[in-house]
Every structure is written in C-alpha cells, then in structure tokens.
Copies of this chain bind each other. A is one copy, B any other.
Amino acid sequence: MAIHYPNGKVYTPKKEPLKIKKKDYSFSNRGKTLEDELNDANEYYLLNDLAVIYKKPIPIQVVRVEYPSRSSAMIKEAYYRTPSTTDFNGVYQGKYIDFEAKETENKTAFPLKNVHEHQVKHMRSVTKQNGVCFLLVRFSAFDRYFYLPFEQLELFWDRMLTGGRKSIALSEFEEHAIEITPKYAPRIDYLKIVDNLNV
C-alpha cells in the first residue's frame, strides 16, 4: 500500500543521499599562496607576542613620479629589481630569523634555479653571524612543507656547482629537511621547528 502525504502526494523513500565530503577548511590552505600562509603565520606570531617577522617589500626602481594633487604621488614608471636578500626576516626570542620561501608544482624534486646565487651568498653571511637561516619549500601538489636548514641547502647547492644534479629530490627533503605538518593556528608553524632544532 502506498503511503500518501496529507496533500495527496505519494511518499517515495529517498535514495541514500550523495555523500558530500565536508572539507575541513580550518586545516586546508584554501588556495592560498605560500606567501599568504606565511604572512598569516607571522601575523599570528605578532599578535601573540611570539615573534616579529615580516616579508620584505619587493625592491622597485622608481624612474618617474607625478603629482596629480598636492598630497599624492603617483609612480608612472618603475621597474622590478632583483632582491639581494631573502624574502622574510625578523626576531624570535632574541634570535635573528632569515629565510626564503618557495613553492613548486614539481612532484619529484625542487629545482634549484628557484634560488639565486646572491641569496645563497646572503644566507651564508647570515649563518656566519649566527642567524637562524633556512629555506621553506612547499610541494603544492601534495600540500607538503619542508624546512631545510641552510647548512643542508648549501650541500645541495655545492653539489650542483660541482656538476651534480640541479635540483633537490623530494626524497632528499624527506631525509634531510624537517617536514612541517599543517595545523590549526598558525597553519604553518615554522617557528616550532626552530624550537625543536634548538638552534
């Protein structure tokens, strides 16, 4: 016997509803760039009095400026310059922190052409001054993050200079870098690694 609703329509049991996998947004990167994620982490550190770390502005060579009104300056011609240092620096509990952040779509290795020679030189100088210096790499295809201490980066860099491979294999990151597991807040808690390394 068919069951009827009060309005006369026949009741038909629904099929099992489509299982929509609820994405846990709190742990996802929501399509953010690595730079955005690190800015989020730095904002978290700053607001919680944990560290003062900023991304440096991109260096720009200004050639021509106009003044449409008395108070405002409009740059009409300018060019990007090659940065001579790394992306991020700041202070964490008296320690000087300095790092470069890079993401790659590559699934097997991080190409070293993403790092410039003057940046390696800069990181070497910082390390000499006892700064905490590292490369932070995101393998975007897997949403995996690695903290590679400069001392390790330098070994791979020198391997390239002496005719070896021009990239660092993902498996080498697994062996020589420290993986950062995304968590709630901040998502990319890279200073935790500094703590653990006790550098």
What chain B residues lie within 8 Å of A76 (beta carbons)? 76-77
In the bound assembly, the distance between CA atoms of A179 and B56 in angstroms comes to 30
Across the two chains, which residue of chain B brings its CB closest to A60? B60
Q: A74-B77, A77-B74, A80-B75 are in contact. Are A51 and B93 (CB under 8 A)?
A: no
> CB within 8 A of A52: which of B46, B51, B60, B129?
B129
What chain B residues lie within 8 Å of A60 (beta carbons)? 57-58, 60, 62, 75, 78
**Tally of this chain's copies:** 2
In the assembled complex, A115 has its CB within 8 A of some CB on chain B: no
* Contact B77–A75 (Cβ < 8 Å): yes
In the assembled complex, A139 has its CB within 8 A of some CB on chain B: no
Q: A75-B80, A77-B75 are in contact. Are A130 and B54 (CB under 8 A)?
A: no
In the assembled complex, A125 has its CB within 8 A of some CB on chain B: yes
Instruction: Write the nearest CB–CB distance from A40 to chain B, whole angstroms.
Output: 16
What chain B residues lie within 8 Å of A18 (beta carbons)? none
* Contact A85–B54 (Cβ < 8 Å): yes
In the assembled complex, A8 has its CB within 8 A of some CB on chain B: no
> CB within 8 A of A129: which of B73, B79, B91?
B91
* Contact A79–B85 (Cβ < 8 Å): no
Residue from the set A72, A85, A122, A131 with the largest chain B CB neighbour count within 10 Å? A131
Interface 1/0 per residue, A74-111 and B, CB below 8 Å: 11111110001100011111111010000000000000
Residue from the set A51, A52, A77, A80 with the largest chain B CB neighbour count within 10 Å? A52
> CB within 8 A of A126: which of B52, B62, B78?
B52
In the bound assembly, the distance between CA atoms of A199 and B139 in angstroms comes to 41
3 tightest CB-CB pairs across the interface, nearest first?
A94-B130, A91-B96, A75-B78
